Amino acid sequence: MVRLGAIELVSRPLTRPDPALVAEALRDGLRRDGLALLTWTPAAHALRERMAFCRHALGPDWPDVGDAALLAEVDDWLGPELAAARRRANLARVDVAAALRRLLPWPQAARLDELAPERLAVPSGSRVRVDYADPAAPVLAVKLQETFGWADAPRIADGRVPVLLHLLSPAGRPVAVTADLASFWRVGYPQVRAELRGRYPRHPWPEDPTTAEPTRRTNARRR
């Protein structure tokens, strides 16, 4: 920049800005504008939700991934990217999921998939994605026929937390929400069966779902 007194005559962009100054400017931008400056892919969102669930279920040994905590400790997880960035647009290309994993000490990183699995196997053989949007109540949405033979809802986080089952009709609509599958089979299922077996006659509606074969198929396709 060239000035004559207080008058700016020429302004040129810095060709080689000080990386430390750039990193500090990017930190300021993140604090001012928030984490939306980063590109949050579905994988990054899912990982953050699983980490938040572990902290809620297992305690403060797990990292806090709330906005305030991530912004306050930005160098702990985003430090290498901030050091390498030369402009704000570089932040949009950051692999946020990989950066978040830096917050996990090795013992926690090694157990994340066990304590907060991305998917759970159901009796039909399907592997269904778990929704951790609410860290207090992880959800598994699955077709009711795929859960025949399941004695009770699965538990995660070393057995501390029951998964909330959203049992779906053949059309994919929720017909029951329960974390107590044994009770549902006894009390709720007979009513659901009476209501839906006439509407979906091609799908199995056994009298005893606890001993029936789980399936992803209709009656016709099972023959």
What is the pLDDT at residue 22?
83
Residue 48 exposed, middle or buried by CB count within 10 Å (0-12, 13-18, 19+): buried
What is the pLDDT at residue 157?
98
What is the pLDDT at residue 220?
54
Global pTM value: 0.86
Reading the chain (223 residues) residue by residue, the pLDDT tens digits are 555 455 554 555 556 667 788 888 889 889 999 999 999 999 999 999 999 999 999 999 999 999 999 999 999 999 999 988 888 888 999 999 999 999 999 999 999 999 999 999 999 999 999 999 999 999 999 999 999 999 999 999 999 999 999 999 999 999 999 999 999 999 999 999 999 999 999 999 999 999 999 999 876 555 5
C-alpha to C-alpha distance for 52 and 135, rounded to whole angstroms: 6
What is the pLDDT at residue 85?
84
What is the pLDDT at residue 212?
97
What is the pLDDT at residue 12?
54
Longest dimension (CA), the chain: 91
Q: Collect all residues with Cβ–Cβ distance below 8 Å to 53 and sequence separation of at least 6.
A: 116, 132, 135, 138, 157, 161
C-alpha to C-alpha distance for 97 and 129, rounded to whole angstroms: 18
Which tokens in the block code for residue 151?
């004695």
What is the pLDDT at residue 3?
53
* Alpha carbons within 13 A on the beta-carbon side of 75: 5
Domain positions in the chain are: 17-114, 117-222
Residue of 91, 102, 104 whose CA lies nearest to 54: 104
